[in-house]
Amino acid sequence: MKRAGQIALTPFPYTDLSGAKLRPVLLLRQASSRFDDWLVCMVSSQLQQADADLDEILLPSDINFAATGLKVPSVLRLSRLAVLDGALLVGCIGEIEADRLARVRQRLAHWVVDEQELR
């Protein structure tokens, strides 16, 4: 059963749609109660691409890193979002803890709103 906070594998498209790569994604929330669609963000091992104001880095020294199922330090790329049919999620490899999921969602919400633009 899929749930927010899980890390699953899926073919994630390149931004130019030239192809896709099987990679881990974080399930942020179910996009619709009527369909098995999920809002996900890409998980990458390219830490140098992390946006310090937006992305979340997962390190092996983190207490719950082993539960993620990731093998190397990784970044939750919150600027790389997609809504995917649940059938495209190959399988769950792990999950992040509830308080980290809440923090990631909060950071994403602030980014979407961009409070500076509202002023």
What digits encode the pLDDT tens for the residues 61-107?
Answer: 999 999 999 999 999 999 999 999 999 999 999 999 999 999 999 99
Q: pLDDT at position 8, please?
A: 97
Which pLDDT score, from 0 to 100, does residue 114 have?
A: 75
pLDDT score of 115:
61
Q: How far apart are CA 114 and CA 6, in angstroms?
A: 27
Mean pLDDT of 45-73: 95
Nearest to 28 by CA among 98, 93, 91: 98
Q: What share of the chain is helix, strand, coil (3-state, %, to 5)?
A: 25, 40, 35
Cα 33 from Cα 90, distance rounded (Å): 21
Where in the chain are the domains?
A: 6-113
Query: Residue 18: which residues within 8 A CB-CB, separation 6 or more?
Result: none
pLDDT at 118 over 60: no
Q: What is the pLDDT of residue 116?
A: 63
What is residue 33's predicted lDDT score, i.e. its pLDDT? 87
Among 2.30.30.110, 3.40.50.2300, 3.40.50.10490, 3.40.50.970, name the CATH number for the domain at 6-113.
2.30.30.110
Neighbouring-strand partners of residue 29: 39
pLDDT of residue 37: 96
pLDDT digits (tens, 9 = 90+) for 6-24: 999 998 778 798 988 899 9
